[in-house]
Amino acid sequence: MAKESGVGMVIAIDDASGSARTLSDELSSCDWANPVAMQEVTGVGQSAPQRLALLMDFTATFNGPAFNDASNNTHAVFKTISSAAAVARTVSITVSGQALADEMFLTDYAFSRAASGELTYTVPASLADGTLTGWA
């Protein structure tokens, strides 16, 4: 496997009607993680931690550099997050042909307006359906 950057990655997120929208050119950055919960079960007679692996999660945060209300774009995809009941949406992150895809709840559509006038946003997402996420 070759070493590669994240340049050219593809991010697609379903809109409220379930249509996948490629938002790669509208998002300035994203973070994702597949954390595993741990339970510490160390007994009093042990001198080092003992743990059990518990549930695995998948979380992501998408950041946008500018408000874009063009048809089928970021605002069209995210505007229903706070006004509708939570609905799972397919989120796909692809880096050099390697994809992570799962059903996720988009939990917020938060804006920040800087003193200079910049209007940016953040959209966090969390695993919705109990299906383990893996690279495909």
In the prediction, which pLDDT does 82 show? 75
What residue segments make up the domains of the chain, in order of their start? 10-127
Residue-wise pLDDT for 59-78, tens only, equals: 999 999 998 888 889 999 99
For domain 10-127, the question of CATH label 2.40.30 is answered with yes
Model confidence pLDDT, tens digit, residues 9-55:
999 999 988 999 999 999 999 999 999 999 999 999 999 999 999 99
Whole-model pTM?
0.87
3-class secondary structure per residue, 53-98: EEEECCEEEEEECCCCCCCCCHHHHHCCCCCCCCCEEEEEEEECCE
